Structure 1
């Protein structure tokens, strides 16, 4: 049987099982049809973040940010660039800490931007401060289990 990975759709929150060999061929959510590994940064709500952090077997890097944060806004294009470079083997998402302050508390966020890497139901690593795309990519590659 082919090796599979569980991925939560970051649009609708449904759990999907995808063959690892097919991650690069544009798998779609079985419920809503959204692309699961397209290299785009998705905005999350707290429920989807919690489910994806606990369920995803592929690396999920989440940017905790706020619209009033200058470094957060400056890093956004770099974060998107890293998302494209890491696709399809890792996914990047963001959550607005201004709209969802309880999420900051739950994840012990002391400053933003803050990046937390989740994989296989647990936090793998975290990184504070705005970073260029190359550093974001290197952080994920060093701390997550990804195919070569």
Structure 2
């Protein structure tokens, strides 16, 4: 089925095949039966991160952040609002660089917050610094095909 997309479940990390035209129909996971899109950023650990960016057929927007970072905390509600508007066309995730230092090092994250957009497992764009909802959405649109 060429019109099917692989979508990684935000709850159990199972890879689901969803027909592209049904993406907006609130699809559920075939393994855990929970919704594949919740309208909230998904917190990913080091162990889960690679599966989500490598196995997902939709672009993945990542917020690299840390709990002690003031600008990260300021941007958090805007990122939440962006998630509500971007899903299900994008998977919206957060990676705590304090807990996932290996991921921060692997992707050479030098400042936080940093947004990165991944497509087919590859980083296609990066933006350091806090942004509001409209700037996040505009930046994503600018770097989408």
How would you bin the TM-score normalised by the shorter chain? over 0.9
Q: Could you list the per-position Cα deviations for residues 90-133 of structure 1 after superposition, in whole angstroms to 9, with x for gaps in the alignment? A: 12110111111111001110010011111122111111110011
1:107–1:138 Cα change, 3 Å:
same
The number of aligned residues is 145
TM value normalised by structure 2: 0.94
Cα RMSD of the aligned pairs, angstroms, is 1.3
- In 2, the alpha carbon distance for the partners of 1:144 and 1:35 equals 25
Q: Is the 8 A contact 2:61 2:116 kept in 1?
A: yes
1:1-148 map, 5 Å? 1=1, 3-145=3-145
Question: Could you list the runs of 5+ residues in structure 1 that have no partner in the other structure?
Answer: none
- In 2, the alpha carbon distance for the partners of 1:144 and 1:5 equals 17
Which secondary structure state, in structure 2, belongs to the residue aligned with residue 116 of structure 1?
strand
Q: Could you list the per-position Cα deviations for residues 18-63 of structure 1 after superposition, in whole angstroms to 9, with x for gaps in the alignment? A: 1111111111111112211232111111121101111111111010
Q: Could you list the per-position Cα deviations for residues 54-91 of structure 1 after superposition, in whole angstroms to 9, with x for gaps in the alignment? A: 11111110101000000000000000101111122112
TM value normalised by structure 1: 0.92
Question: Could you list the runs of 5+ residues in structure 2 that have no partner in the other structure?
Answer: none
Could you list the runs of 4 or more consecutive aligned residues of structure 1 that deviate by over 4 angstroms after TM superposition? none
